Structure 1
């Protein structure tokens, strides 16, 4: 398989066969102008190179192609938009340095498990010089920057659009979601009296209480359930949300693995469910920390060493019970956002903090005070108040919806932007006969 079919983003761009600019091609005396684009030109050699590249890729991928005439028209259109974007890049001063280019090519090689030498050999095996390949990659990087700079500001995504897409994702996900359910039924007689109902409800609540105290679900199901799967420990197996009883489907929505549900009343009695497994559902859990800190910033008056010593003194006062954290923070902390709250930073994902702060929090036990430590903001004394696991599934869904909307709108706006740019440009395609060719 040709190397263009293997490599990732930048190589996919090459698979689309965008050629390098005219400055990278050696022109012969027989070369001629094929297209005039504003103040620049597209040479016949560029058109021929692009057509040859497309044909080469088509052979490698076993693809059929239209006529040479149609292929030439498409190649010219591609080169026009390429030239327009590169001309705009020059006006905007967008460039890609050699070190940036080298790093990108090294990443391409690594992503495809190639050494740089192997990448070079694969490129040259396809009849392309490595220098030409480098300039193609540089051009694609520049065009990417130009598009992002000009298209991004045209995109606006409303909260309502995000909410609507999240709802659609949930509906689609619900059809694919499967739950492994445990079921205990405390049954009722055909015509239950009030006493029968009260007794069954009490039995169900008693069993639920035992389950919440780490009772064995299967054992309790075998001993107490009137359900059809009692002898299997209440195991109902894997059920699609649409294949389980409506009463159960409504009850399990939004619940997590291991969660107990019930008692739920139906005509048959009182049901207790346990979600013993989930698949086809993305659940994102993150750890959050609650902390408070005192920040001291060194200055011309306050040395680094003195700032560190001051926090060490505060720490000892707190351990000895001679001071209150809130009062010290309000009086001394240089962090205006938290000082008025006694240094309280609230619940947060530790990833939002700078590395030194995040790493220190990770090393602390609940209620423990850190030693004074330095971050890019200054010297800190921090106390970890608590940790918790937060369900970030909804946030993840919103992020996913936003990214899907952004990707779709970026593609739409890119097409519109390119059309507008082309419509505003002076384009003249020179026919071979007009150029005096035989």
Structure 2
């Protein structure tokens, strides 16, 4: 139903376009502007301009530069419907945080095991509590529709607008829902877990947004939101064994969860002790890597946006067979953070068996605290699945299995029979400073 004010506009002679734009500029939500455009044809014409929605965003102190850069690169001119959607992304995000703040959104309730479902001490890492997501999960799902786009277009102001103290509980609740949802019960059958993939597509967006958010925050902001307890007790439980990360090659949310865990740890470590390698800053993001459709994620067969044009939205596109690209990263062994690894990565010729050319092959050599190593592997250009082998010179080797994301390559390492830890690597230029490679003594 139209408000009396909108009814007045509809029935009276047309207002001057300048007055209509001024009215629209001060409406709180994009839906209000759309309702105003529906009053009559003259109003619709007056408000059908991207300049109005850019002005609305600027008046609310949102960032528009990244969106404008995408328009310039794509040579989009006068696409006011796109800017309506962009305006919606920002106003809807703030509306959801305000809703959470006003409604007292808190972390999900945890219920102890009942007599009918006693704990099972024989199964490692099985959760013996039942998580009640309730309205918090519903809120997280709605937030995941718009948050990735807003945070991946941050330049200076977007994070400041959503990290006020009153929103901290909402962030903690959102993070808890997402991390719990990424850990399906260990005792579930493979058939049940596979069938549940289609119901958790929202997790891909939610996890993407959280990683993009965390790696753009400084340590003070992260600690103010999540608290120093994250570095000590790991609550909520990030310290799951790698075997609890289910099907990392099919669930990008698992890869994002590893990046999120490791990035939070690095931030907290950097607060209390000097690090030889800091977490990466947000890499330059190609438009192909963005979630650019604000309303629906898509079907269960959704193609991750950074893979729409091969690997265009990932750092692997920068590889050359002639000159190496410096990469860095960490691996975790039995829950302990190891010193960083440094290596040069090259584009490698495809294998003869890969006649279809659906894989990008790479090779590299470098060093970590264990010794010098070589790296050989590939990434599927349709799925992003990464398979590689890290071989220490004159010694042992480990298999890497994971995925390529806009934030680097990430996965689990070990043998075919057992995952022993996590790894995450990225181009060295993304880090805030470039430390010297480690000194390695090889026996």
Pairwise TM-score range, normalised by the shorter structure? under 0.3
Q: TM-score, normalised by structure 1?
A: 0.18
Q: TM-score, normalised by structure 2?
A: 0.18
- Return the structure number with greater helix share: 1
